[in-house]
Amino acid sequence: MSQEPDYLPAHIVAWAQERQQSLDLIVSTLLETGEWPTTKGLTRELARAGKPVPLASILQDIPRPLGFVENGPGRIVLLLPCLRLVPGAEALLDGFVTLVKLGLERYRGEDEPPEITRQDIADVIQGEIQQRALSEIFLREAPFYGSGTGGPDDEWTREVTDEIVRFWDVVTADDYLRIRTEQLSTSPQFGYLASGPEAKTVQRLAGEQRDVFISHASEDKEAIARPLTEALAARGYTVWFDEYEIVLGDSLRRKIERGLAQSRLGVVILSKSFFAKEWPKQELNALYSRLVGGEENVIVPIWHQMTREQVADHDVLLADLYAGNSDAGVDRLADEVGRTLELRRQAATPSPEIPTAPLPEPAAEAPVEAPREPAPVGRGTSVPAPPHAEQPPAGKPPSPFPSRAITAPQSGPESPASRLSGRRPPLGAVNFDMEPGVLNIAALELVRDGDTIALQHLFNDAIARGRQAVDISDLDALGELLDRLTCLAATFLTLDQDERVSDVIGVMARVYGMPLRPGDAQRFGYSTRINPEEMAPRLWFQTLERLYGLGALAVRYEKWNVLRTIGLQKPEGAAEYEKNWLRHALTMSARAGLLQQVEDDRTVEVSLLVLARDQVARLACLRPDGLASTDDRILTSLAQFDALWNLVAIDDSGDASGRDFYPHFARLYANRVTPVVEQLLSDHDMRHALFQRSDADLAIALQSVGALAQREGWRYDGFTDWGSRITEFVDANIPQEEPEESG
């Protein structure tokens, strides 16, 4: 494969050739360690060898099709097109293509479902380290696999999906990459445009700052999103053009954190398709979070074949922002976006010599009603300013879209703008009728403003709605209410508002106990079989799934006090022996058959962790850390929450008999949970939050949970033991039985 690939643009090939030594070093490190190196680690290694090379600077403009440097750890990840340009990577490329062929073979076969496993990697390439490297590449980049378990370090399994048929005739690595490149050829974010101002803009995407992020639904790409991107690029602006449905080694973290966070402005193309999809709304929520931080002119809405009333039906705050309209034409919109960018630049470098621009007068032939009151969210400050904040001067600030393309927002005493303006909103203005994303932002503003009365009113509103839904057995309404409460708790969790998380969990506990009427505790407690149509166990099961998703988020954010709060609520009205609601919900759900399903005319047990994973995939608010809905780390964090909750339950009740806990994680391999349990042994703050009893008690708890998990693990070929470090702790601290006295 020495010939240059004709399917990669010349500027991408040239970039790689100019940095060939650095790329060779990265690949050789991968082959030696099985892991992608970090910029910091590899730079220090080179320095020790007397070769000071500033890798971070060399790689800062890496074209997106070739790779990227991960946020946080700074891992250097090279994608398949880049490996094609590195001579030392032939074995990895050949191994990947062999797996593609194997996937085709399995797809044509009789196995159901067709799968590729970690063992297949061992059959493809020699050496454990090289196998780990190929696993990393395959699991990141293969577009034809679906659900499965395990990561690069595990005995993973992945289902082969229908997408494999795209690669039916693949024989060589070039065959595969030519097809994959064609799939991505229309994606500016991957830099395949070869010439013109658009190509220059795309090549600059790896820099530190972008001008504009285009948030849109794929249905609006041809009509408005792509033309607007090209018009902005032609004016010299850098544009992040998000084609989320075609992914090459990317993730939600990359697109949201690296795209939105590094863009000065978010242009949001609002249409019926936009509001019908989850991904664009996630992008919008990320922009809202910047509004909470006090940034101005962050969101620029463009209405595409929608009226203000239609927008307001979905999002009252968006409807209240100054907006462009696609009817004005792409060139006009691009000009106005440019003017908004200039306003942001002026705001970032204030000068007393630069006067505030007045609001332009509307043209006579197209009058536009100027707002009678500034819409603070439209200016980028989402709701009430803190009491100490400096107030804007009298008069109207400049519109971010000073032209006839503007649609003026509604204002007045009852408008969304006035409810969320600089004065404190009236009691009840923030309620559960709001869209979930807007509700979260508004609740955060109540916290920031210290309005505890309005917060309590909001929580009371949730309790009242829960009671009404329980009284009429409306499970759909209860599910929607639980979704909103879960997302509200998740939002508070990510912003270190632990007290508010506890408040929301307390509300969920109140709703949880509502179906229990006098005598129900005994009726349910003594029944070995519960009618699956009964509302109570179905509500408890819905709550259980969401709490696990919230607990997994607490694990990933290391919010140990929150984890304990999630695990130890006492179900109101339940029997005295029920110590926590997670165990209660599990027992009642099992008795109602809610953890079973019929497959091939037989009833099988379903893992709670898998069901909870589905909830996390459905609710984007449970993935604020940027994990894609299919990311395997979701299942790992669910298993880790489960393991820690088992220990917390024992710490709370003092009973290690198994009455108060159950190890769902036992169906998985031990390496899912051992890292977090090992952390518990050494992390003082974590230990204080989760297990406050003695080392001897912790050893007993670990021994009991491990023994039960081992028995369950045998049934599912899962958990076997805790591993050496935890076992050593147990052996060293388990109380020794006193020998019986003779005679």
Q: Three-state SS for 246?
A: coil
Nearest to 63 by CA among 189, 179, 246: 189
With CA atoms as reference, report the closest residue to 700 among 731, 743, 724: 731
Instruction: Classify residue 595 by its DSSP letter.
Output: T
Least Cα distance to 274 among 245, 311, 240 occurs for: 311
Distance CA 383, CA 291 (A): 9
Q: Three-state SS for 596?
A: strand
Closest to 575 measured CA to CA, from 501, 466, 659, 676: 659
Active-site choice (115, 198, 283, 445)? 283
Contact 482, 508 (CB under 8 A): yes
d(CA 318, CA 311): 7
Round to whole Å and give the CA distance between 595 and 606.
5
Q: How far is CA 442 from CA 292, 447, 457, in A?
A: 9, 9, 13
DSSP 353: T
- Tell me whether the omega of the peptide bond preceding residue 113 falls within 30 degrees of 0, making it cis: yes
What is the separation, in whole angstroms, between the first and last Cα of the chain? 85
CB atoms within 10 A of CB 675: 12
Tell me how far apart the alpha carbons of residues 101 and 370 are, in angstroms, rounded to a whole number: 63
User: CA-to-CA distance for 58 and 86, rounded, in angstroms?
Assistant: 16
At position 674, the amino acid (one-letter code) is: T
E strands present in 567-690? 596-599, 602-605
**For strand 324-325 and strand 145-149, is the pairing parallel, antiparallel, or unpaired?**
unpaired
Q: What is the dihedral of CA 424, 428, 432, 433, to 10 degrees?
A: -100
User: Residue 369 catalytic?
Assistant: no
**Residues annotated as part of the active site:** 283
